[in-house]
Structure 1
Amino acid sequence: MNLLTKLFGSYSKKELKRIEPLKQAVLALDDKYTKMTDEELKGQTAVLKERLSLGSSLDDILPEAFATCREAMWRVLTIKPFPVQIIGGIILHQGRIAEMKTGEGKTFTAALPAYLNALNGKGVHIVTVNDYLAKYQGEMMARVFNYLGLTVGLAIPGMEPDEKKKAYACDITYATNNEIGFDYLRDNMVTYKERKVQRGHNFAIVDEVDSILIDEARTPLIISGQGEQSTELYNVADRFAKTLRPIRVAETNEKEDNDEIYEDYDYIINEKQKTATLTKRGVKKAEQFFSLENLTDPDNITIQHHINQAIKANGIMQRDIDYVVRDGEVIIVDEFTGRLMYGRRYNEGLHQAIEAKEGVKIARESKTLATITFQNFFRLYNKLSGMTGTAMTEESEFSEIYKLDVVEIPTNKPMIREDCPDVVYKTEKGKFNAVINDIIEHHEKGQPVLVGTITIEKSEQLSAMLKRRGIKHEVLNAKYHEKEAEIVAQAGRKGAVTIATNMAGRGTDILLGGNAEFMARAEMRRMQFSEELIGEASAYGYTDDEEILNARKTFAELNKKYKAEIAPEAEEVRKLGGLYIIGTERHESRRIDNQLRGR
């Protein structure tokens, strides 16, 4: 902490001081709204809308709107947002970023400004990182908003345009960042205005805002049409690339053009810049292989392009790190979250070059019909806000690109996590041996251990070392994507050891002693309930279907039973020191390191 911060306090502390009177105004109304009947509380929506029509601003009605929503959440979900969540809600309403630590209840925080901003009838979009979270949060909070007379929509893949139009016409719409972006692109391709599904971009609350607006900011959303038939040239170029001898350079080398240094090699792989370039010797080999007089001749541009993509596919793109091969298909691994990105393809023929390298069917090339980056899309909103557990590390980017400031919200209870300094080893072998010994030491005490790695390769290397030592463990990486929720949910059990490639935005809570909800769902499977019914059992949507109501009753009973069962184990794990986290190496982004800690 520098001297100026010590003397004058941090920016966040000054902003929190400024917001304090507003927070107190909301809390002061608590008694008044607690005494209201259900009819009186539900009637507040009409009262507040009338005040807006008579000239009041959203800021003028904020205390009353927040107090109404808080009381409705208590009556419907038996949850009343804490003072720190009220602060977070005010920050979001003001079009800023709230940094709230993992587990501080961002879903409930977002409900307060969403209710307030929905009162003007222009629509609120709550954007999450995956379909599961959008559906889960949307169904849960719909009960509160419907109670208060507002409509809630859900926009996820697989919906018909008419369904989407209804979802966006609602007061509050839950959607994923990908789907809301693609719907915008599709709207720009329709022939008639009436076929558009979105009605405008008034106010967005973005969950995991750093992941969407920073990590994936430059990721283009692309709607493609079928292009030319895929050419055999990909296979030919791949066969040629496999005959070449590469040399790896760690970073930009001023002597990269010096052919004497590389006279024994065919192409140079620059690991830092992720580029692959033919040497003089490589160019000669290409001319011989393809029977060309001059590779750089404009007539040979297509062959040159295919060679460049083939050497990049073979030299830079690594299986089980950049992509996985599953069921005869090349699937990209998201470098930030470690998730598989189904439906996404590398552009400019790189994906086809990888397909040729892996010997799977080469898909037809495509041509771009419409495209936009998340950075440009989210700047369309009149007001944009976001929340995450780790935003301070990207504070300058948020300010420069989106004109958004970041306010750090204190935790509801004092932080008791102990953050240890880095330990540096001479060799990787020494480091991994130390990691294994550290895991075993804590595992033998019964303390649950979570180990973070950067790549699938390293997670499997650690897994093999643990197997040799006879330590039972679970591995969470892009190869075992389907088991994600199951693995994360039970990572807090006594003696559990979990290895994970990346914990950014995983969306499932690690609960000490185990996750009762997940255990209840597993028991329902054993009781022969269908997957559809199990999904409905833990959902919040309104229904009068007897079968679903029966499933919900069974789920509630099992959840209660398992909560009671795991309570002693949870207490035992707390006494052992809680979840022990080991980061085996630093990520490129400090924020992802912080997300691992935040578990």
Structure 2
Amino acid sequence: MLGIGTVAKKIFGTPNDRKIKATRPLVDKINALEPEFEALSDQGLIDKSDEFKGRIEAGESLDDLLPEAFANCREAARRALGLRAFDVQLMGGIFLHQGNISEMKTGEGKTLVATFPAYLNALTGGNVHIVTVNDYLAKRDAEWMGKVYSALGMTTGVVYPQQPEPEKKEAYAADVTYATNNELGFDYLRDNMKSSLEEMNQRGHFFAIVDEVDSILIDEARTPLIISGQAQDRSDLYVSIDKLIPLLQEEHYTIDEKTKNVTFTDDGNEYLESILHENDLLEEEQSLYDPESTTIVHHVNQGLRAHKMFLKDRDYIVRDGNVVLIDEFTGRMMTGRRLSEGLHQAIEAKEGCDIQPENVTLAQVTFQNYFRLYDKLAGMTGTAATEAEEFGQIYGLGVVEVPTNQPIERKDEDDAVYRTEREKFEAIIGAIQKAHEKGQPILVGTTSIEKSESLSALLTKADVKHNVLNARQHEQEAQIIAEAGKLGAVTIATNMAGRGTDIKLGGNVELKILEAIAADPEADPEALRQRIEAEHAADENAVKEAGGLYVLATERHESRRIDNQLRGRSGRQGDPGRSSFFLSLEDDLMRIFGSERLEKVLATLGMKEGEAIIHPWVNKSLERAQAKVEGRNFDIRKQLLKFDDVMNEQRKVIFKQRLDIMKAEDLSEITSDMRGEVIDDLIDRYMPPKSYADQWDMEGFKADVAQQLSLDLPMVEWGDEEGVDDDEIADRIENAALEMMTDKAEKFGPENMRMIEKQVLLQTIDAKWREHLLTLEHLRSVVGFRGYAQRDPLNEYKNEAFQLFESMLDGLRQDVTQKLSQVRPMTEEEQQAMLQQIEAQRAAMAGAVEQAVSEDNPAGDALEGFDETDPTTWGNPGRNEKCPCGSGKKFKHCHGRLN
């Protein structure tokens, strides 16, 4: 008997079906407008954009404009790229404009889909950011889709690391900007460390479309973005600790693979204490439990984690003497990304690399809080439904599954589970050989570099030609993927998530054409294209006959979503395909999270060597294990966000205050208010309310007024006056301070005084915020222990963080007031002395350069016939060649010097 829910779904459709149905009338409207826009000239498309902008200014909503804007964009894409968007692509664009995640399968053309809502929203003049997972895709998409925006009269920019500042500013000023999530987050932090509005690059946060949204907003959201400066060098400590780790035995510590943590046992603590004393890392009388030992214990823990939890070629690789992390979700190198709290240094010590100094945090933000800055957020991916709850809770994003343009023909087989890893790999090699013999292209998915390379060795032994794609082959990524769909191709890849390049059956025709033109530049390009396209069509049909792309996964990932991404590489645009997962009871997921029941069942069945269990029930069991892991990871991200939200509120206050200061023309009112509050604090300290005159500390008051306000006032005499009260003394101090600052403003000049106030305010805010971030980091690391006292760590963190913020603001007012009161104009003698000092430094530098030049180029004989007064006898030396006079100097520094 059918349940009520099932009956309701049959009658009314699922909520997703209803959302799809609701877009049909809009898609029909866009299609009905197609002939009208086809009739427009190229200039006519641009004129339409101007017309739309005028209508928006007149008050028309974007929703009203949507059908016409989408029709205009579709026509521009058809002319610029030769691509006419399918109806399902228009649907995807509509959902993005509405602030949803469009779940669209691999090969459905998500890159083009983004142009529709991006164009519509850019018509408002607000900035539109299209976010990609790597710089290659940002540049590729900006160049490719830039042709569409250009045909619509819009500008396109691309942001990438180490970009020159003027170019970056121009990219952000464009109507549509392509960038990676990392670069956007870092630019936001950098902008809020700048000292003038002109230096800032980003122009607000209006609308963002995040490509591979699950990878960016979920997988990478566990790690905050941090801009840091170097702290003191402690490499000796890391090396000393690294030498001790191999002395530890298994009974000295326990490992929790689920949380990637290690803890010492009681025996371990005793042994550790003794070897730390022996190696002079702990003072004789000091125990591990003393507060002074916190740092050393922390570093020993990190050293143990580096040895036991972080594996070379899985979690990181060593390249050019540097430890480079590997993204566990995409298998890519994360160049420049470092682990915090000394863990990266511990790995460098383990691998014998140069140890880079630890860093102190200057600014930080999580991806969750960065992307929540946008007025409107949207995303695209092939796999989002499994994380719909998280997208809804944290970002307020709905997930809509957009139907495919062609029905999916891929066959997804049940998982095959073997007893041992050896049996599993033997079965994998057999399956690859079988498919390879009939010419079927195979994509083999692995979860680490180590596994991909051991599988590669097995395939080489079995004489199967193949390509390997992992972090080591990062540069050849596009080339390897382009060839992965060729007849008989075998490609081993670590985590194919977010590669951004389709695997096309028969290979990538455009790449084949480019290669053919490069090989024979004299050939007619059009004739080459026709020949290669004809060959490609034959290759594509042969691959389809062989069964299409076969995705063979060697392990289940912690996240089902990553597995689905790998699976989705096959069967694009209605192509045939096949996918299967080969597992063993020794795989990490099965070992750590797999159900013990499954193991018992397999043991009961008495499986023979090389035999696998294949049953839908096994799939369900694995799904539950993955759901457990995903749930735990969601909890980690939620917890991280709760703590970061506390800092985020404070970050917003500080960043807004900085912005207000940079925008302000005159800051004298702000500095005057700060000075007034400092004076009030001094009054409260030295003349407490409801106290008598003989209880006042006027000597201490005088000293503090001199220190904080640079004023020498007769505080003791004032205190002895009859009938004087705190208000009267506060007024006298404020008047004296105001008189001093007015006098300073006259001496400096109003313009200079305003600039001084602005710089003092900004520099003091930045210094105080840095100190505050460090304090919050320390608070965050110890507040968890409050749970043992039955107190909620989050509430404790909120309360103490608030108190710390209040005291930071008090300190800020004091520092600004003190610095401004100590500022004074230079005397003429001081200015002369400073100019002489600068001149002496410059002369010394010039002398050093001159000496270096003459040492590098010892004097020699002059050119024959050289006449100092007749340049025609000098020959024709280059500016960097030796001077023909024989001085040994470069020509540009000698007779070739421009007078």
TM-score (norm. length: structure 2): 0.60
Amino acid at match of 2:226: I
Q: Distance in 1 between matches of 2:516 and 2:233?
A: 50
Specify the alignment match of 1:545 in structure 2. none
Matched, 1:29 2:15: no
Matched, 1:594 2:587: no
Specify the alignment match of 1:220 in structure 2. 224
Amino acid at match of 1:590: R
Task: For residues 115-155 of structure 1, give each alpha carbon's deviation from its aligned partner in whole angstroms, at most 9, with x where no partner exists.
Answer: 11111101211111111111111112222212221111111
Matched, 1:267 2:253: yes
2:186 corresponds, among 174, 182, 186, to 182
Specify the alignment match of 2:130 in structure 1. 126
| DSSP 3-state at the match of 2:77 | helix
Q: Distance in 2 between matches of 1:559 and 1:184?
A: 45
Note the C-alpha offset of 1:478.
1.8
Specify the alignment match of 1:13 in structure 2. 17
**Superposed counterparts of 1:24-173, under 5 Å:** 24-173=28-177
Amino acid at match of 1:194: E
Specify the alignment match of 2:317 in structure 1. 324
Note the C-alpha offset of 1:517.
2.8
Specify the alignment match of 2:363 in structure 1. 370
Q: Distance in 1 between matches of 2:394 and 2:175?
A: 28
| DSSP 3-state at the match of 1:153 | strand
Task: For residues 457-484 of structure 1, give each alpha carbon's deviation from its aligned partner in whole angstroms, at most 9, with x where no partner exists.
Answer: 2222222222221111111122322222
RMSD of aligned residue pairs (Cα, Å): 1.8
Q: Distance in 2 between matches of 1:557 and 1:350?
A: 58
Q: Distance in 2 between matches of 1:5 and 1:587?
A: 32
Specify the alignment match of 2:538 in structure 1. 568
Amino acid at match of 2:346: A
Note the C-alpha offset of 1:379.
0.4
Q: Distance in 2 between matches of 1:523 and 1:276?
A: 55
Q: Distance in 2 between matches of 1:189 and 1:6?
A: 57
Task: For residues 250-282 of structure 1, give each alpha carbon's deviation from its aligned partner in whole angstroms, at most 9, with x where no partner exists.
Answer: xxxxxxxxxxxxxxx111111112111122222
Note the C-alpha offset of 1:560.
5.1
Note the C-alpha offset of 1:325.
0.8
Specify the alignment match of 1:314 in structure 2. 307
2:417 corresponds, among 393, 417, 424, to 424
Amino acid at match of 1:516: V
| DSSP 3-state at the match of 2:500 | coil
Q: Distance in 2 between matches of 1:391 and 1:577?
A: 28
Note the C-alpha offset of 1:498.
1.1
Task: For residues 45-92 of structure 1, give each alpha carbon's deviation from its aligned partner in whole angstroms, at most 9, with x where no partner exists.
Answer: 111111111111001111111111111111222211111111111101
Note the C-alpha offset of 1:376.
0.7
Return 197-206 or 513-522, whichever deviates more.
513-522
Question: Is the 2:102–2:400 Cα contact (8 Å) retained in structure 1?
Answer: yes
Task: For residues 309-335 of structure 1, give each alpha carbon's deviation from its aligned partner in whole angstroms, at most 9, with x where no partner exists.
Answer: 111101111111111111111000101
| DSSP 3-state at the match of 2:221 | coil
Note the C-alpha offset of 1:562.
3.2
| DSSP 3-state at the match of 1:340 | coil
Note the C-alpha offset of 1:526.
5.2
| DSSP 3-state at the match of 2:131 | strand
Q: Distance in 1 between matches of 2:117 and 2:22?
A: 18
Note the C-alpha offset of 1:216.
0.9
Question: Is the 1:92–1:113 Cα contact (8 Å) retained in structure 2?
Answer: yes
Amino acid at match of 2:256: N
Specify the alignment match of 2:340 in structure 1. 347
Q: Distance in 1 between matches of 2:176 and 2:456?
A: 44
Q: Distance in 2 between matches of 1:281 and 1:562?
A: 70
Note the C-alpha offset of 1:194.
2.1
Note the C-alpha offset of 1:354.
0.3
Q: Distance in 2 between matches of 1:75 and 1:101?
A: 25
Task: For residues 536-564 of structure 1, give each alpha carbon's deviation from its aligned partner in whole angstroms, at most 9, with x where no partner exists.
Answer: xxxxxxxxxxxxxx9xx987775554333
1:579 corresponds, among 499, 524, 549, to 549
Q: Distance in 1 between matches of 2:272 and 2:331?
A: 36
After TM superposition, which residue ranges in structure 1, 4 or more long, deviate above 6 angstroms?
553-557
Specify the alignment match of 2:763 in structure 1. none
Give unpaired runs (5+ residues) of structure 2.
570-899
Q: Distance in 2 between matches of 1:235 and 1:485?
A: 40
Change (3 A) 1:17 1:324: same
Amino acid at match of 1:244: L
Specify the alignment match of 1:283 in structure 2. 269
Note the C-alpha offset of 1:286.
1.9
Matched, 1:516 2:509: yes
Amino acid at match of 1:511: K
Specify the alignment match of 2:459 in structure 1. 466
| DSSP 3-state at the match of 2:158 | strand
TM-score (norm. length: structure 1): 0.90
**Superposed counterparts of 1:418-457, under 5 Å:** 418-457=411-450
Give unpaired runs (5+ residues) of structure 1.
247-264, 530-549
Q: Distance in 2 between matches of 1:269 and 1:301?
A: 21
**Superposed counterparts of 1:387-398, under 5 Å:** 387-398=380-391
Number of positions where the alignment pairs a residue of Structure 1 with one of Structure 2: 558
Return 56-65 or 506-515, whichever deviates more.
506-515
Matched, 1:506 2:499: yes
Q: Distance in 1 between matches of 2:525 and 2:218?
A: 39
Higher Cα Rg: structure 1 or 2? 2
Specify the alignment match of 2:200 in structure 1. 196
Question: Is the 2:42–2:151 Cα contact (8 Å) retained in structure 1?
Answer: no
Specify the alignment match of 1:258 in structure 2. none
Note the C-alpha offset of 1:8.
3.1
Task: For residues 339-381 of structure 1, give each alpha carbon's deviation from its aligned partner in whole angstroms, at most 9, with x where no partner exists.
Answer: 0000000000000000000111111111111111111100000
| DSSP 3-state at the match of 2:418 | coil
Question: Is the 1:218–1:375 Cα contact (8 Å) retained in structure 2?
Answer: no
Matched, 1:210 2:203: no
Amino acid at match of 1:386: G
Note the C-alpha offset of 1:40.
2.4
**Greater per-residue helix proportion:** 2
Q: Distance in 2 between matches of 1:555 and 1:135?
A: 26
| DSSP 3-state at the match of 1:41 | helix
Amino acid at match of 2:67: P
Question: Is the 1:22–1:63 Cα contact (8 Å) retained in structure 2?
Answer: yes
Q: Distance in 2 between matches of 1:307 and 1:28?
A: 69
Question: Is the 1:332–1:344 Cα contact (8 Å) retained in structure 2?
Answer: yes
Amino acid at match of 2:355: I
Note the C-alpha offset of 1:288.
1.7
Note the C-alpha offset of 1:12.
1.3
Q: Distance in 1 between matches of 2:427 and 2:474?
A: 28
Q: Distance in 1 between matches of 2:419 and 2:246?
A: 34
Amino acid at match of 1:476: L
Amino acid at match of 1:352: Q
| DSSP 3-state at the match of 1:36 | coil
**Superposed counterparts of 1:222-261, under 5 Å:** 222-246=226-250
| DSSP 3-state at the match of 1:29 | helix
| DSSP 3-state at the match of 1:424 | strand
What is the percentage of aligned positions where both structures have the same residue? Answer: 56
